[in-house]
Amino acid sequence: MRVFKFLIFAVMLTALSACAGKFQTYTGPEVTKVIVEKERRMMHLLHHDKVLRSYTIGLGFAPNGHKTRQGDGRTPTGHYVINRRNPNSKFHLSIGISYPNANDLARAR
């Protein structure tokens, strides 16, 4: 019985370590802020006030202005949180982000 438990534990540990290797690691300066310029469709990763990297991003078909209803093509302004990672994506650093909460949307207006 003891050997069986050890074998199950070893299999689980091996499976978990295989999943962990799918994520790439980042060893640069800490990203302290992400700024999105909707008009230019650009995203900037910052370490305090220094831009570390900038990316072109995709947004809705009419991202500028305040989001008023579903389907208006506008991108809501507010604070987002990274809430999931996808190691099986064909895009090597695929992440999921939250939707801004009601307080953020009210402040943006």
> In this structure, are residues 74 and 68 in contact, taking their beta carbons and an 8 Å threshold?
yes
CA dihedral angle for residue 47, residue 52, residue 53, residue 54, rounded to 10 degrees: 60
Instruction: Indicate the burial class of 82 (C-beta count within 10 angstroms; 0-12, 13-18, 19 or more).
Output: exposed
Name the maximum alpha-carbon separation found in the chain.
64
Lowest mean pLDDT among 18-27, 46-55, 58-67, 94-103: 18-27
Neighbouring-strand partners of residue 82 = 97
- To the question of pTM greater than 0.85 for the whole model, the response is no
Provide the percentage of residues in the chain whose pLDDT is more than 70: 67
